[in-house]
């Protein structure tokens, strides 16, 4: 069964089962916004399988909340015993 469809900006999509993911990486960090001359938070979720890497990026609070919910759903699907 396939659990996830991820669309890229150039309208290509991959269908991936969460169980097929080799690695899931969540990064909560700061980036240097040179236009505003300050550091700003970002949240990045990388889903890796085989040679493919899918990156989801959140820069504002609303996007961060949505991405954290998505990451929680992926974690729950990958680790149903928890």
pLDDT (tens digit per residue) in 18-28: 877 888 899 99
Distance CA 69, CA 63 (A): 10
**Range(s) of the domain holding residue 26:** 4-78
pTM for this entry: 0.69
- Structural domain tally of the chain? 1
Distance CA 67, CA 75 (A): 12
At residue 73, the pLDDT reads 87
| Token pair belonging to 56 | 């989801």
How much of the chain exceeds pLDDT 90, in percent? 26
Count of beta carbons in the 10 Å neighbourhood of residue 51: 5
Among residues 69, 82, 80, the alpha carbon closest in space to that of 18 is found at 80
Give the CA angle between residues 62, 63, 66 to the nearest 5°. Answer: 90
């Amino acid at each position: 069964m396939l659990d996830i469809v991820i669309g890229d900006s150039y309208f290509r999509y991959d269908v991936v089962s969460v169980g097929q993911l080799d690695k899931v990486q969540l990064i909560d960090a700061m980036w240097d916004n040179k236009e505003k001359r300050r550091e700003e938070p970002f949240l990045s979720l990388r889903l890796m399988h085989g040679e493919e890497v899918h990156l989801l990026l959140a820069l504002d609070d609303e996007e961060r909340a949505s991405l954290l919910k998505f990451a929680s759903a992926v974690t729950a699907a990958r680790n149903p015993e928890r």
